Amino acid sequence: MEFTAATIAGFLKGEIEGNPDIKVNTIAKIEEGHQGALSFLANPKYEHYIYSTASSVVLVNKSFIPSGKIETTLIKVENAYEAFASLMRLVDQARPRKTGIHPTAVIEPTAKVGNDVYIGPYAYIGENCQIGDGSSIYPHVYIGDNTTIGVNCIINPGVKIYHDCVIGQSCIIHAGSVIGSDGFGFAPQSENEYMKIPQLGNVILEDLVEIGANVTIDRATMGSTIIRKGVKLDNLIQIGHNVEIGENTVMAAQTGIAGSTKVGKNCMFGGQVGIAGHIRIANGSKIGAQGGILGDIKEENTVIIGSPAFEIKQFMRSTVVFKRLPDLKSKVDSLEKEIQTLKKR
């Protein structure tokens, strides 16, 4: 597809500085720009590339003031990053979509499949399942009995959704993820043995949830493990049984949340965050990478870091002390020697 700078500016309600008739047919990083490419500049540390980029058009913030000569055509918008994301979404939606049901797919007779649904090779749809209109079920997907998939969902190759789960509208689940496997529930018995506790609940994903590749979300022991509307999970995340994740919370890769923890809405977790079980995380909490949370976070919009994690300002002050520990130890050792000498006198 090919668009002029004027067409793009009209779509984004932006202002053009340069040639409104120049055309673009692809996208590229600003540092890898070439003729016919559209790029964006949002992070100031990449500003030096805009003076040498070969991209035909670059999106910039309206607040951007160049410090040198610019050869490319600029489109000034309120937020260059968001505008670029909108264009990428438009391009993605313009791609041709697979349709129809492959002859090797297995659909149980009691399952209900909506209109304009794609079901790929070797997919399995269990008893009493419901697949919403416009959804895509890619090859080798397994959907267990009594599971509901909402409209316009994308279930990518190799996803496994166990029985009785509920997937909302416009959800995306990436390859290899497992939704609704048993929670980690075992009762200690005599002689160091454990008895499995049946996991009789389910998993509910509300609307507009996106699950990365190779994520596991355990079904509840009783009731539901719930991922609320708009949650975005990165790859390789583990969500334990009976966990609840609040609306529009985002989590980076390798985060793990133990059973029965309740996470508030609008939270942000860095990579490899670990959350203990049976605790509560307040709305708007921000946890730095590799943060270890052992107790409740009660105050909303708190920023914490470290393991065990604590409030970021205290952490930064403590870091100064950590760096000085070897010197402080030397001083303590020296003082102990002086004290011993004084005692002998």
Per-residue pLDDT, 331: 85
What is the fold, at CATH topology level, of the domain defined by 3-93?
3.40.1390
Q: What is the DSSP string of 99-164?
A: -EE-TT-EE-TT-EE-TT-EE-TT-EE-TT-EE-TT-EE-TT-EE-TT-EE-TT-EE-TT-EE-TT
Per-residue pLDDT, 293: 94
Q: Residues 135, 137, 139, CA angle at the centre, nearest 5°?
A: 160
Structure tokens at 189: 């018995």
Per-residue pLDDT, 208: 98
Q: What 3-state class would DSSP assign to 21?
A: coil
Per-residue pLDDT, 54: 96
β-pair partners for 275: 257, 293
DSSP conformation class of 253: T
- Which helix (H) or strand (E) element contains residue 244? strand 244-245
Per-residue pLDDT, 325: 82
Cα 172 to chain centroid, rounded: 11
Q: What 3-state class would DSSP assign to 278?
A: coil
Report pTM. 0.85
β-pair partners for 282: none
d(CA 39, CA 42): 10
d(CA 270, CA 290): 7
Predicted confidence pLDDT, tens digits, the chain (345 residues) = 789 999 999 999 999 999 999 999 999 999 999 999 999 999 999 999 999 999 999 999 999 999 999 999 999 999 999 999 998 888 887 788 899 999 999 999 999 999 999 999 999 999 999 999 999 999 999 999 999 999 999 999 999 999 999 999 999 999 999 999 999 999 998 888 999 999 999 999 999 999 999 999 999 999 999 999 999 999 999 999 999 999 999 999 999 999 999 999 999 999 999 999 999 999 999 999 999 999 999 999 999 988 777 677 777 777 777 778 888 888 888 888 888 888 877
Per-residue pLDDT, 255: 97
180: left (phi over 0), alpha (psi -120 to 50) or beta: left
Per-residue pLDDT, 323: 79
Cα 36 to chain centroid, rounded: 31
DSSP conformation class of 289: T
Amino acid at 298: K
Per-residue pLDDT, 317: 77
Structure tokens at 254: 């390798």
State the sign of the Cα–Cα–Cα–Cα dihedral 288, 213, 200, 149: positive
Residues 6+ apart with CB under 8 A from 92: none
d(CA 276, CA 25): 48
d(CA 29, CA 122): 38
Domain boundaries, the chain: 3-93, 159-307
Listed in sequence order, the DSSP H helices in the chain are: 5-12, 80-93, 312-344
Per-residue pLDDT, 94: 77
* Class level of CATH domain 159-307: mainly beta
Residues 6+ apart with CB under 8 A from 184: 218, 240, 241, 259
What residues are annotated to the active site?
Answer: 241
Contact of 306 with 287, CB cutoff 8 Å: no
d(CA 27, CA 40): 9
